[in-house]
Structure 1
Amino acid sequence: LKDTHNFFTMTRKYGVSRTQALRLAPEGFAVKIDNSKVVNVLEDASEKNIPIMVFVGNRGIIQIHTGNVKKTLWHQQWFNVMDPDFNLHLDVTKIDQAWIVKKPTEDGEVTAIEVFNKQGDFIVQFFGKRKPGIPELQEWKDLVADLEK
């Protein structure tokens, strides 16, 4: 891969779902993690003041937030981000799979947390804040490394 966006094209080319591709990935590129660690991503990024990128979408739209997460809170099974410029409401009971995914790119390795429901549909993705031509933040790499423990 030269760009993280090429992953989708690769899955279509070989006729596999995203979750199948993660299960079949060579060692070190995709690691399944406990679903509860998805909340840790947001809590840790908030606590450590690490800017992140959050991708939420469906077949008709994708919403992207880039920046810091400040105010997080629980309401029943919902884990929420309640910032002035960003709200996220994540029903943790709908999470079936969570993965750490490492993709090689021209800018170095890019690490994501990818979250799926029971049907294998994408719920949310998290990355450290970055842009093409800029390497991944070391603070983000460290946060993700802590999730693997």
Structure 2
Amino acid sequence: MMMFEAIRDRDMQVMFFVGNRSCIEVHSGPMKDLRQMGPWLNVLDEGFNLHLCGDHLAEIRAVEKPTRRGPALSVEAFDSDGELIFQCFGMRQERNGDPEAWASLVAELPGEEGA
């Protein structure tokens, strides 16, 4: 998936949320070791593993949410039932992130204009 490769290639710090009804895992930091295996994208970093089946992604959106510290821009993926699969945010400035770099990355992702 293009977003993961861009995060890796730009050595970007992100906050990545994935979960279910019981728990949410939050990864803060880079994503380095990406391996595509069939429909599966695997992140195999020390301290963080993710196994994401691309066949389950029905919709991916760039979302801007208001916060007390200004807008938070995320990339969010949903399955065919509209259930959230993951959310990814650029790391905030005070946590070694660059919001402008994250906004630039999100703007470069393929998508439908006006969607």
- TM-score, normalised by the number of residues in structure 2: 0.87
The counterpart of 2:4, out of the listed 16, 26, 42, is 42
Q: Any stretches of 5+ residues in structure 1 without a counterpart?
A: 1-38
- Report if the CA contact (8 A) 1:80-1:90 is conserved: yes
What is the aligned partner in structure 1 of residue 66 from structure 2?
Answer: 104
Q: Any stretches of 5+ residues in structure 2 without a counterpart?
A: none
Over residues 104-146 of structure 1, what are the superposed CA-to-partner deviations in whole Å (9 max), with x where a residue is unaligned? 22212210111011111111111001289x9962111111111
Query: Once superposed, which parts of structure 1, at least 4 consecutive aligned residues long, lie more than 3 Å away?
Result: none
- Identical aligned residues as a percent: 35
Are 1:68 and 2:30 counterparts?
A: yes
Q: Could you say what secondary structure the match of 1:43 adopts?
A: helix
Q: Distance in 1 between matches of 2:93 and 2:9?
A: 23
What is the aligned partner in structure 2 of residue 145 from structure 1?
Answer: 107
Aligned residues between the structures: 110
Q: Distance in 1 between matches of 2:97 and 2:15?
A: 14
**Distance change in 2, residues 1:70/1:121 (3 Å):** same
In the TM superposition, what is the alpha-carbon distance from 1:148 to its structure 2 partner? 5.1
What is the aligned partner in structure 1 of residue 41 from structure 2?
Answer: 79
Structure 1: which amino acid aligns with 2:22?
G
- TM-score, normalised by the number of residues in structure 1: 0.68
Structure with bigger gyration radius: 1
Structure 1: which amino acid aligns with 2:47?
D
Structure 2: which amino acid aligns with 1:54?
F
Q: Distance in 1 between matches of 2:68 and 2:110?
A: 25
